[in-house]
Structure 1
């Protein structure tokens, strides 16, 4: 699929970046900015001035960026609720593991709801953090519903990265750290970012609106919920028959992310599983171990969706997460 421009693009209406989480992240043991790596040969081939990869394959001991949002949402929740003894979350894999890891560091219990088609290795990775794993006989959206209901129990808090709750907003704020790091590490005028429920992309467009950087959102062809929502000018729910990009296998955009995405995303592009497999293999040849969702931006760049001569930052959001911990 080719690049589809956002007809509602209005960066002046995008909420500002909230950088409160940056100092908190810097205080965490083992924190350091993830690297930005250059792909000079690919940039020359694609006619780009630079092709850069924000490599999130190792972030605070986990193989994905999600801990930035989860840790900040847990921190904010615990500041506001002294009664919390158990955290719950719904996940396709990475968010659940991040919440479980944050819970373990604080000595809290954790329960994670996963959709039926989640891979066994992702279930095992979450369990390895000490969490109770509950596999739902249904979709990711069904898991979200059950996790939200569990959060009504006494002493239990739902750490969601989707919806309109406080944690869903704080997750977006937590991801701002990733983009501030990148701005300090490299010069770029375009960000290509995976979408999923949209929290990471929302953080990207807030930075983009502030810095004058265009943001292109990447989705699976089988789960292009942002593209469909932009076409309808409202959040819509779509069928999701499945994709190897587990973190992007989402039927609807988060309510917390939607206002930023509606006004701030420059364009969207959809990629196939086959294109992502090819992108993973090429990234591996460059020495980068990137998972399916993380390789989606490179697959999109390969389709020629970036302006000739631009300096492009690809957000490689995960390493290989479909392997045993």
Structure 2
């Protein structure tokens, strides 16, 4: 196998056709340069240079054939070193990021993406929208590097999470609903039919809705069970019921949807950034750190936590 050092010596001499200038370019002694070239010729079993009696040098046919291949090989080696070092610093590579809709609607995810792209433009970020349970499983299996999720009480041993965003919960109703023009007290919601997003999850908004009923002294009546907030918002705007939702649901463009604060219920909806603790890539670690820093900078996590969800790891 050929070494890169004698190849560099050969390329320098082949370009300069002068031992002295080539040695100066490489910042080595001419004697060391000559030894490297002789060693290269010995390994290949061919003569690469026609050496004149004085300083005149020319390439043999074999040397002329080797030159473009040697230049290509050295460029590949330099590229390999460049990519490896930048990847190790998190400046190159790719990361797979999952997110729930609220991370996009709240503006948190776009803000993190903008800041990350500005700081690390050579890292490819691949986004996938998916529910929290699927994200946690994908993080555990290695299919995702980072996820923006609704926090859970427990996580797999290989997954950790930190709260990065909080926002008030509101009740979203159609503009013709009686509550659309009234102050909404938590006890007044006892008469309402609720549209339950993320109905197939055991945590998250199921817990928020249960806490709402407990605060108002009633059992929430579920009229429709849907998978996502877009569907829930569309049904609410058409008068099919009301939705307990994060305030950012107002970002869904529907002229018929009205979001009302709930007097007597101050629980905050939380978002967490979840990540793999084992074999996390440098780029993924940088992304997570930036998400945490962005949340702190905009004050998203200053208020005390009131949710029943926790972010501790499973014991």
Q: Same fold (TM over 0.5)?
A: no
Report the structure number with the largest CA radius of gyration: 2
Relative CO higher for 1 or 2, CA cutoff 8 Å, sep ≥ 6?
A: 1
TM-score scaled to structure 2, two decimals?
0.29
TM-score scaled to structure 1, two decimals?
0.28
Quick check: which one's strand share is greater? 2
